[in-house]
Amino acid sequence: MFFMGAIMTSQIIITDRHDGVWDRSIVAGVTSLEITITHLVLQASICIIQTAELLIVVYLIYQQEYLGSLWLMYLMVYLQGICGMAYGFWVSVISTDHSMANTVLTGIFLPMMMLSGLMWPTEGMPPALRIFSRCLPFTMAIESLRNVSKRGWSLDNFQVYSGMGVGFMWTVFFGVLSVYLIKKKR
């Protein structure tokens, strides 16, 4: 969900900028913050549907077994989609066109996937790399989701909170950084 949100958000905002929608809105009296909030509401609504589709396919159609709360898993995946959206906002702010945004997004994709524990367990990493890996947006979220799904953990467990907390902190970081850079460019 992280990269789906990032790709979709960055492409829509860059398209708006290149087509002149962003500048026409600014001239009409709309602030950059209002445009950003509008995009956030639109993308968050789409993310609700994408998250539901993902969980329906995995747990209902493919009948993947799970022990924990489906609603908690939904919330965790949705929050990662929102974090990806914030990352996509940041990429759209620093990128001048679609090809630059795609390069940034795909250039970050593989290292994050390799270091998040999806392709290689974090337990097999050297200690310094493991610490760095835990600071990435979705490493701890993946571990938390795995524990909710396979072990039946709930919000009572600190690791579930920490997985959601790291993603939330990255969301706030990318959101604040994006708004700052937008205001600085104007």
pLDDT tens figures, 14-66: 999 899 998 899 899 998 778 888 988 999 999 999 999 999 999 999 999 99
User: What pTM does this model have?
Assistant: 0.91
* Number of Cβ within a 10 Å radius of residue 184: 8
pLDDT the model gives residue 34? 87
Helix (H) or strand (E) holding 98: helix 98-115
- For residue 84, how far is the Cα from the chain centroid? 2
Residue 85, pLDDT above cutoff 80: yes
pLDDT tens digit string along 111-138? 898 888 888 888 888 999 999 998 889 8
Report yes or no: 85 and 9 within 8 Å, Cβ to Cβ: yes
Residue 160 has pLDDT above 90, yes or no: yes
What ranges do the domains of the chain cover?
2-185
Distance CA 7, CA 45 (A): 16
- 154 backbone φψ class: left, alpha, beta (φ>0; ψ -120 to 50): beta
Element holding 66 (H helix, E strand): none
The C-alpha atoms of residue 173 and residue 155 are separated, in whole angstroms, by: 24
The token pair that represents 166 in the structure block: 């790291």
The pair phi, psi for residue 152, each rounded to 5°, is 75, 20
Burial class (CB in 10 A: 0-12, 13-18, 19+), 115: buried
